[in-house]
Structure 1
Amino acid sequence: MASTQRVAAGEGVTWTVLDDDYRVAVPVEQYLEYLRSRDCSPNTIKSYARGLALWWTFLERRAQSWDTVGVSELGTFVGQLRRGSVAEDVVPLHDGRKAADATVASRARAVMGFYRYHAARGVEVAGRLYETVQTRPGSYLPFLEHVARRTGRRSSVVKVRVRAKPLPVLLPDQMAAIRDAEASWDPAGAVWSGELRYRLLWALLEETGLRLGEALGLRHRDWKTGTGTTAQVEVVHREDHPHGLRAKSGHRRVFVGSALDRLYGDWVWALCEAGADVELDDWDNAYIFCNVHRGRSFAPLRPESVYKHLAARKKDVPGLPPDMTPHWYRHTHATALLLSGVPMHVVSRRLGHADIQTTINTYAHVTEDAELRACADWQKITQTWGSRHEV
């Protein structure tokens, strides 16, 4: 059975795939190295490695070479992914818990990317895995679409459809409740009591829509506090985070309000009172969200610690969704901006999407619902007909 293997490399942590004999699966490693050369994040490499480890297991169970597959094998693999029986010796005859569509699509995407890469290298695969299409569904046309219309576009034959689900969002009262549960201001002593670090983190995610990894990767030099101008946070692409966190979308600036800026100032003051200004040699390069209770003092906070803390908060704060994750703040931020009338391209830039089509695909339903909701007052709409006719 093939497996994924964590590897500590010079530039950080990465992942590879080992075959049944605990040797590196060379064709897979070639593809993963290609992804590394494209500066894909460690989490992306890990996800693709997991999908390809399942595919390699599938091939080993069938004693089949990786370059002799076709559409039928890929279809069988997708079916096993849905049933969760890729690595099983016996396929259960009763219906068990099926894998989520998004998970199946992610694993299948890794396999198709693997074959697309090797096809570009000139490797001949026995089966027809791609077809040339001349049209592109949808109203959005990417750059150089006129070229694709003449030459066609290579499209995967095997596709996994993911049923769209409403994106989870948080209500204002829920976000306020978790902030207040973290830390509260004591007017008498003029101090914050509680976990000011997490109050700042939730407020930052709520107001900026940053990914958790982007927030935890922020250094003090990235926070440009307001001095006569609007405060801003710079998201900077770096590859030296101790826990492998990266800014997925590269560099961008996100402007923030004065209240959040003051909260950051209070957190800086709290860190100084804890001795950070004395212990840290380079304050500008120190991480904003850091250890203050456990582990090495002022070392960067781990994402696992945030999830563990949130799990405890969900038990303490009534009304928080049990399946809430930090990423809900990002969906909430985007939804709130779109419902308030902020243009789609502005939201896309603020979120750091590389392509506005990503924003459209993810949040188009928000604006569509708002437009359809405007049609609900049918009487008001029909009243305008007469005035238009008179004109």
Structure 2
Amino acid sequence: MAATQRVTFQDVVTWTVVDDVGKVIEPVEAYLDFARQSDYSPNTIRAYAKSLALWSTHLASCNRAWDAVQLTDFGSFLQALRAGRVGSRTVALERGRVVSDATVAARVRPVMSFYRFHASMGVPAASFLYEQVHARPGRYLPFLEHVARRQTRRKSQVRVRVRPREVPVLEPVNVKSLIASEASFDPVSGEWIGDLRYRLLWTLLAETGLRIGEALSLQHRDWSMGRGDTASVQIVPRQHPHGLQLKSGARRVFVGSVLDRLYGDYVWWLCDRGADAVIEDWDAAYIFCNAFREPMFAPLRPESVYAHLDRMKRQIPELPSGMTPHWFRHTHATALLLAGTPLHVVSRRLGHRDVQTTTNTYGHVTEDAELAALANWRHIVQGWEGSADV
């Protein structure tokens, strides 16, 4: 049975796949190394390694070499994935599914990419998986499209249908109650009471749609306070002490004046706790840090954020039990789309590498908005009725 193996080299953490005797599976490692050179995040490498470990386990149970697979091997792999029994020689047909279609699709995609990589390297393995297609000629062509048409493209022949799934969003009252419960301003003393650090974090996630890893990776140099212009935060890929990796490249996200002012109050709040006497280089210091335990002012861990949110969910019953920090991102994107923000603008703000990712995740939001607008169809057709009389 194949398994994923964590590998650490000079403080860099990655993943590979080994067989049942602990030997690295070379074809898989070649593909994962290509993914590393393509700047895939460690979490993505880990997910790809898990999928390819399942595929390697399935091939071993079928006594099939990776470069001698048949189309039926992929069919049995899909069936085994859905039943959660990869590695079993026989999988009984069952009406219910243990694993969702979305999870199955996520497991299959790296396998398809693995064979596409080796096909590009000239290895004649599973050539039946891809159909050679030519780009359709047209008047408006992307850059170098004429070159792509000569070389043809590979189109996957194995697809997993995934039912559209609505992303979880927070009600405005949930966001407000959580933020208010973290810290409040006392006008008498002129000070913030509570944990201003988490009030800033939840407000930042709600207003920007940042991933939790992006927020925790922010250093004070990345926050440009508004001085006659719009404040912003700069997302910068850099090595993090806790191994956090950014999924997308550098980008700038603009923020409002209220959030900018809250950040200023937070800096003074840290100084009141002695940060100015401990932190030597404020520019390189992480914004979200330990404020109540040792090591003081060290970067905050994601595990600490999740543990804190679990405590807050017990204190605030109206918060959804399954809520995670990523729900702020879904809520932010949904709110922007419902407000009529163009899809490509939302995609750029979220840091998606491809607008298609935004469409796949939030396409139902724009569709619902368009369908809701058609509810007032009688008002829409009045213009048609008037023009028809002319």
Normalised to the residue count of structure 1, the TM-score between the two structures is: 0.92
Relative to structure 2, which stretch is displaced further, 4-13 or 91-100? 91-100
Change (3 A) 1:155 1:202: same
Aligned to 1:293: 292
Cα distance change of structure 1 residues 197 and 149 upon mapping to structure 2, 3 Å threshold: same
* Residue 5 (str. 1) matches residue 21 (str. 2): no
Contact 2:61 2:88 in 1 (8 A): no
What is the aligned partner in structure 2 of residue 374 from structure 1? Answer: 373
Counterpart residue number, 1:49: 49
Measure how far apart 1:127 and its partner are.
5.6
Q: Output one character per residue of 1:62-110: Cα deviation in whole Å (capped at 9) or x when no partner.
A: 2321111121111111110110000457746766651121211111111
Q: Contact 1:68 / 1:127 at 8 angstroms: preserved in 2? A: no
Counting only pairs closer than 5 Å after superposition, residues 223-302 of structure 1 correspond to structure 2 as 223-238=223-238, 240-302=239-301
Show the counterpart of 2:107.
Answer: 107
CA separation of 1:2 and 1:183: change in aligned 2, threshold 3 A:
same
Percentage of pairs with the same residue: 60
2:172 corresponds in structure 1 to 172
Distance in 1, Cα, partners of 2:263 & 2:64: 57
Q: CA deviation at 1:350?
A: 1.2
1:180 and 1:128 map into 2 onto residues whose CA distance is: 58
- After alignment, is 295-304 or 45-54 more displaced? 295-304
Letter matched to residue 217 of structure 1: S
C-alpha distance in structure 2 between counterparts of 1:390 and 1:147, whole Å: 53
RMSD: 2.3
Q: Is the 8 A contact 2:170 2:327 kept in 1?
A: yes
Residues 107-116 or 299-308, more deviating: 299-308
Name the aligned partner's letter for residue 318 of structure 1: P
Question: Which residue matches 2:328?
Answer: 329
Q: Which amino acid in structure 2 is aligned with residue 257 of structure 1?
A: G
Aligned length: 387
Distance (whole Å) between structure 2 residues aligned to residue 359 and residue 319 of structure 1: 29
Classify 1:234/1:133 alpha carbon distance in 2 versus 1 (closer, same or farther; 3 Å): same
The more displaced of 118-127 and 84-93 is 84-93
Contact 1:130 1:156 in 2 (8 A): yes
Structure 1 residue ranges without an equivalent (≥5) = none
Deviation at 1:43, TM superposition (A): 0.5
After TM superposition, list the pairs within 5 Å mapping 1:44-123 onto structure 2. Answer: 44-88=44-88, 91=91, 98-123=98-123
Q: Name the CA distance, whole Å, in 2 between partners of 1:142 and 1:98.
A: 42
* Aligned residue in 2 for 1:356: 355
**Mean alpha-carbon deviation: is it higher for 210-219 or for 338-347?**
338-347
Query: Match for residue 33 of structure 1?
Result: 33
Tell me if the contact between 1:75 and 1:158 (Cα under 8 Å) persists in the aligned partners: no
| Distance in 2, Cα, partners of 1:84 & 1:354 | 31
Q: SS of the residue aligned with 1:323?
A: coil
Any conservation in 1 of the 2:115–2:126 contact (CA below 8 Å)? no
* Aligned counterparts, 1:134-173, within 5 A: 134=134, 152-173=152-173
Code of the residue aligned with 1:349 in structure 2: it is R
CA distance in 2, matches of 1:356, 1:110: 20
Aligned counterparts, 1:122-141, within 5 A: 122-125=122-125, 128-134=128-134
Give, in whole Å, the separation in 1 of the partners of 2:339 and 2:126: 53
| Letter of the 1:289 counterpart | F
Residue 206 of structure 1 deviates from its aligned partner by 0.6
The answer to whether 1:215 aligns with 2:215 is: yes
| Structure 2: segments with no counterpart, 5+ residues | none
TM-score, structure 2 as length reference: 0.92
